[in-house]
């Protein structure tokens, strides 16, 4: 398959292709950042145009156990507005208990290695389980988000996750595109965005950013930009 052809397609066309090509074998991984909710909005519209039942759209989220309360609030808003079903996945409690017993509850502040361990236990291992049985997954990644994401394509082969398709329909969107779409389509979003949070993950590892700071500056702010991935999108060594 010529993956380069997708670079010329708009986001709606890429999502429509994914729904037609994979049907119930494609799933959206949503952390309920604004990008993910925009994708849900588009998925629902494209599903309706294709005559698909929106209730059968596959969407999942990983509840790490350390999320902001505001994230849970926007999840409820999304379910209410769009009538979609969200599949919740949680980390294995035995892994979490062993990790915190050995390193404490806030181990991620102690070293990059321990932060990556926490991400692996709470997210990466869970993602493997969530993607089991799917042929493709959709993400809200954008190239301008960080130096680690500048080369991503709209459609890729995800070698980290058994060679399934990884679909990134918003890769070429800029912040102005995101917020214009939100306003024009009345898309609900996490209220933390209004408080200066550009990227929202676990509460202890996320903070608001200043206008002069990089988009991902609020994620693991004690680390260098080159290491600011949890392992969901970049293979960890």
**202 is known as an active-site residue:** no
The answer to whether 202 and 72 are in contact (CB under 8 A) is no
DSSP 233: S
Tokens of 206: 């996320």
Tokens of 221: 């702010």
Bridge partners of residue 61, in order along the sequence: 88
Q: Which of 118, 119, 205, 230 is catalytic?
A: 230
Residue 71 sits at the vertex; the CA angle it makes with 225 and 193, to the nearest 5 degrees, is 60
Q: What DSSP line would sit under 113-174, residue for residue?
A: HHHHHHHIIIIIHHHHHHTTT-SEEE----GGG-GGGTT--SEEEEGGGTTEEEE-TTTT--
Crossing angle of helices 34-49 and 175-185, rounded to 10°: 50
- Burial-class residue 118 by CB neighbours within 10 Å (0-12, 13-18, 19+): buried
Q: Which residues are catalytic?
A: 230
């Amino acid at each position: 398959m010529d993956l380069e052809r997708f670079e010329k397609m708009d986001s709606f066309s890429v999502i429509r292709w994914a729904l037609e090509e994979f049907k119930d074998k494609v799933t959206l991984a949503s952390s309920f950042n604004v990008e993910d909710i925009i994708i849900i909005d588009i998925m629902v519209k494209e599903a309706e145009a294709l005559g698909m039942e929106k209730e059968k759209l596959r969407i999942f989220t990983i509840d790490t156990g350390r999320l902001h309360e505001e994230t849970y609030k926007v999840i409820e808003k999304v379910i209410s507005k769009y009538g979609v079903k969200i599949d919740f996945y949680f980390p294995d409690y035995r892994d979490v208990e062993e990790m915190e017993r050995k390193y404490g509850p806030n181990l991620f502040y102690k070293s990059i290695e321990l932060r990556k361990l926490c991400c692996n236990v709470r997210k990466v291992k869970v993602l493997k389980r969530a993607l089991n049985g799917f042929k493709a997954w959709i993400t809200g990644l954008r190239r301008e988000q960080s130096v680690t994401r500048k080369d991503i394509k709209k459609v890729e082969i995800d070698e980290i996750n058994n060679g399934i398709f990884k679909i990134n329909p918003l890769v070429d969107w800029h912040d102005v595109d995101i917020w214009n779409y939100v306003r024009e389509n009345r898309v609900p979003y996490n209220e933390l965005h209004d408080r200066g949070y550009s990227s929202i993950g676990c509460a202890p590892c996320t903070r608001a950013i200043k206008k002069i700071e990089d988009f991902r500056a609020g994620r693991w702010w004690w680390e260098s930009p080159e290491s600011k991935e949890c392992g969901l999108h970049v293979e960890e060594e």
